[in-house]
Amino acid sequence: MKWILLSIVVTATALSDLLQSHEMKRAGEQSVGARGLARLLKTIAMRRDLILSIVCLAISFFAFMALVQAEPLSFAVPASASSFILETVLAKLVLKEDVGMRRGAGALLVLGGVILLAR
Amino acid sequence: MTANPGMRFRTYSLLGLFVFLRPLGNLSLAWGTKHFPQVLSLNPAVYLRAMVDPFVALGIAMLILALLTRMALLSLADLSFVLPVTAIGYVLAALFGRVFLHEAVTIQQWLGTVLIFMGTGLVGTTSQNTTPNSKESK
């Protein structure tokens, strides 16, 4: 069961982030000032993929809650942080981002750090 | 693609806001639920009662604002830039846990924070946006 929950967390997180990144870049520069927030909320309400990304985020959140209820946090946090690597690869392949050596190495260092921090 | 100084400033402002909002929101939520007299169960009524607690409500409000800030951040910067750079929040969460909740932080965990700092610093030296401007033409 824990691997099913973990798969749901990682897949839903990756899908949510990919959708958000793609749609937010299409929507153009946003801010979180008083006027910016109103515009951002309007942007979210008008874009189906952004709403879907929030649904994915909610699925990921509840699956993570179920995971930490059944498994130790020292497993749940580093295991779900593996989405870092999946998302970095997908950012290159799907979003066509330029993920060079420095970004790749940085993501691996952060993953290592998260694993140590969760122990 | 090199970002102009104005865009870089806006990106790092949103980054700073997000990095503080998320651990502060989690801290407020943890504080509120730990001091909530009832055990959180599958009963939604208990969750609704917990949400009236000022610390829980404040935590939820900060986490919603953090989500919106991260979405605004993704309008300016690549996902592969945002992911590792925002991981600095894990370090702040450990620090807040140590300072406010008096949780123990082991040597291994401090080593983890050093790795996260190094990774974040390394990614921070790359260009924030490497994709062509994909804004829709209206």
> Hey, which residues 85-104 in chain B have their CB within 8 Å of chain A?
87, 90-91, 94
Q: Does B2 touch chain A (CB under 8 A)?
A: no
Give the per-residue pLDDT at B132: 67
Distance from the Cα of A74 to chain B's closest Cα (Å) equals: 11
What residue type is B31 in one-letter code? Answer: W
Of B62, B32, B67, the residue nearest B50 (C-alpha): B32
Q: Do B135 and A17 touch (CB under 8 A)?
A: no
Q: Do B114 and A113 touch (CB under 8 A)?
A: yes
Least-confidence region, from A44-58, B39-53, B56-70, B86-100: B39-53
* Token duo for residue A87: 């998302």
ipTM of predicted complex = 0.87
pLDDT band at B138 (very low <50, low <70, confident <90, very high): very low
Q: Cα–Cα distance between B76 and B72 in angstroms, integer?
A: 7
- Give the mean pLDDT of A63-88: 79
| Predicted local confidence at residue B75, as pLDDT | 93
Indicate the domain borders of chain A.
2-117
- CA B135 – CA B123 distance, rounded (Å): 24
Contacts of B11 in chain A (CB under 8 A): none
Assigned token pair, B46: 């208990």
- Taking a C-beta distance cutoff of 8 angstroms, is the pair A60, A87 a contact? no
Closest CA to A85 of A112, A55, A64: A112
The pLDDT of residue A40: 92
Q: Which tokens sit at A70?
A: 């059944």
Contacts of B121 in chain A (CB under 8 A): 106
pLDDT of residue A66: 78
Q: Look at B136 and A28 and tell me if their CB atoms are within 8 Å.
A: yes
Tens of pLDDT, residue by residue over A13-46, are 999 999 999 999 999 888 888 888 999 999 999 9
Show residues of chain A in contact with B123, CB under 8 Å. Answer: 102-103, 106-107, 110
The band of B137, judged by pLDDT with boundaries at 50, 70 and 90, is very low
Give the up-direction half-sphere exposure of residue B36: CA atoms within 13 A in the CB hemisphere: 23
Among the residues of chain A, which ranges form H helices?
A: 2-27, 34-46, 48-70, 73-80, 83-93, 101-117
The answer, yes or no, to whether residue B125 has pLDDT greater than 60, is yes
**pLDDT for the residue numbered B2:** 55
Which of A16-20, A78-82, B2-6 has the weakest average pLDDT? B2-6
Listed by start position, the domains of chain B span 5-124
